[in-house]
Amino acid sequence: MGKEKRMIGDYTVLSSVNVGEKEIIIASNEQSTDGAKFLCGFVERNDLFELCKECVVSDDYIDIAHIFGSRVANEAELFKEQVKKLDIPITLITETDCIPDHYSKDINGKVIAIDPKVLKPEFQRADRQLYLVTGGFGASANSRGSAVFCTNLHTGKNTRFERMDVMGEVKPECMPDWAKEKIDAMNRSHKNKDRER
């Protein structure tokens, strides 16, 4: 049986490219008779549905293909500029930098590295891999749960991963200097909050 076609509304997605936080698609609607046979747009999705924004439509495939290519190139340039603005060296945390993860270990309060294989290619770098574990059933030893709640060391944003996404606890000697500074700042912040209570 063939692979199921991805549909957004009446359009069949022909190709899509993820660049950073954005996904750009080119799609077709063979039944269209109103000058909108082909579409290029940015896709936003959640657990329930996909939504296409900033859409351009045309019956001319080459025009839409050109817009698609331009948008991909533009987003790549914007993403490249964002990476240049990072205030840290661009590195990758590997398995050799970690104490291998095992479900018999409790990782609450530990600094973990997310396996780069579960990240988009452009996010396979330390600032998107390093997290302080803050909870979740999956963070406990021998748990049936899999959710690991954590805080990104670079951005401070909270998120959730599955325990199987965790490559391991980062060895202290392999921790980047910027990450050590962020951990110290987080610890100071927690101590100050505890004093205020």
pTM recorded for the entire structure: 0.76
Judge whether 117 lies within some domain.
Answer: yes
Task: Please state, rounded to an integer, the average pLDDT across all residues of the chain.
Answer: 90
Residue range 44-72: mean pLDDT, rounded? 90
Question: What's the pLDDT score for residue 196?
Answer: 67
Q: Are residues 191 and 112 in the same domain?
A: yes
Helix (H, G, I), strand (E, B) or coil at 23: strand
Q: Are residues 110 and 182 in the same domain?
A: yes
Helix (H, G, I), strand (E, B) or coil at 60: coil
Question: Residue 87 — pLDDT band, cuts 50, 70, 90?
Answer: confident
How far apart (Å, rounded) are the C-alpha atoms in residues 80 and 11?
A: 31
Domain edge (last residue) among 37, 59, 85:
85
* Token pair recorded at residue 55: 């859409």
Question: Residue 86 — pLDDT band, cuts 50, 70, 90?
Answer: confident
How far apart (Å, rounded) are the C-alpha atoms in residues 186 and 170?
A: 17
Structural domain that includes position 57: 7-85
Question: What's the pLDDT score for residue 2?
Answer: 61
Residues 6+ apart with CB under 8 A from 162: 138, 146, 147, 148
Judge whether 1 lies within some domain.
Answer: no
